[in-house]
Amino acid sequence: MAQSKTKNVISWIFQIMVAGLFIMMALPKLMGDPETVANFQRWGMPDKIYLVIGFFEILGAIGLLIPRTSAAAALGLILIMVGALFTHVTHDETMMAILPLSVMIILAGIAYFRNPFSGRQSVPEEV
């Protein structure tokens, strides 16, 4: 029981931290930060795609904080991070690829521990 509670607390800590990270990453995109817009143009991305990505980052961050949607949100955010990883690697920004890769690993852990179909649900103890 104590180990299960510890895993739950650790998972929540990671979920809150990653949700905060995605909100911080989304805000410059949604606010049209000139440096962010310039990066997307330099990478050859379609105009205003940064707004779409920022929207889905906020949506994913919110989803991480809702127990029923946290696993799905983590998987959706992994897709965004795959795109970020691909973008950095294909534009010779290997050092910048470390962040999306690290975040993908954490998101995979969240998806694994929060997957409602995994059979790892805690069974109520009988009194």
Averaged pLDDT of the chain? 91
Could you tell me if residue 126 is inside a domain?
no
Range of the domain at 12: 2-114
Could you tell me if residue 120 is inside a domain?
no
Could you tell me if residue 27 is inside a domain?
yes
Q: Is-contact 50 95, C-beta < 8 A?
A: no
Q: Decide if pLDDT at 85 tops 70.
A: yes
Could you tell me if residue 18 is inside a domain?
yes
Bigger pLDDT: 110 or 1? 110
**Other CB atoms within 10 A of residue 10 CB:** 12
